[in-house]
Amino acid sequence: MPRRRSDAEVVLDSSDASLLDIVDNVLNKGVVLSGDLTIALAQVDLIYARLSLLLCAADRVLPNEDPDLMERHHARRRRRVRLRQSGRVATRPQAALSGRSADAGRPGGHAAGRPGRR
């Protein structure tokens, strides 16, 4: 008894096969160009980020229940400075030598942690 032909075989054997290829190639393949950022090292793409820029006033996008965000940020900063001055937290070069903080010694790193993490 002859085997029943599948839908895929019927399409692939017909004259529509070339159209199937064209649809697959033209609509499903090819470079997608958009506002992307690719960070590469030694010609290997490591980080890919789609860029979507939102330009508006900060108070329009920050949560309503957090009106004193900047005030709390400044308070944390003052506290870090006080701790550093009192000697309870190592300065950046010391921490880098002793390996106390993963951020220490890195450009822009903070020996006492980043704002908002404490």
Report if residue 65 touches other proteins, rule: CB under 8 A.
no
68 binds other proteins (CB under 8 A): no
Residue 67 backbone dihedrals phi, psi, to 5 degrees:
-70, -25
Kindly report the number of other CB atoms within 10 A of residue 89's CB atom.
20
Query: Shortest Cβ distance from residue 7 to other proteins (Å)?
Result: 8
Task: Work out how close the CB of 55 gets to other proteins at its nearest, in angstroms, rounded to a whole number.
Answer: 16
Amino acid at 77: R
Retrieve residue 81's tokens.
């400075």
What CA–CA distance (Å, rounded) separates 67 from 89? 30
Q: Does 13 bind other proteins (CB under 8 A)?
A: yes
Q: Which residues in this chain contact other proteins in the complex, by CB under 8 A?
A: 3, 6-9, 12-13, 17-19, 21-27, 29-38, 40, 43, 45
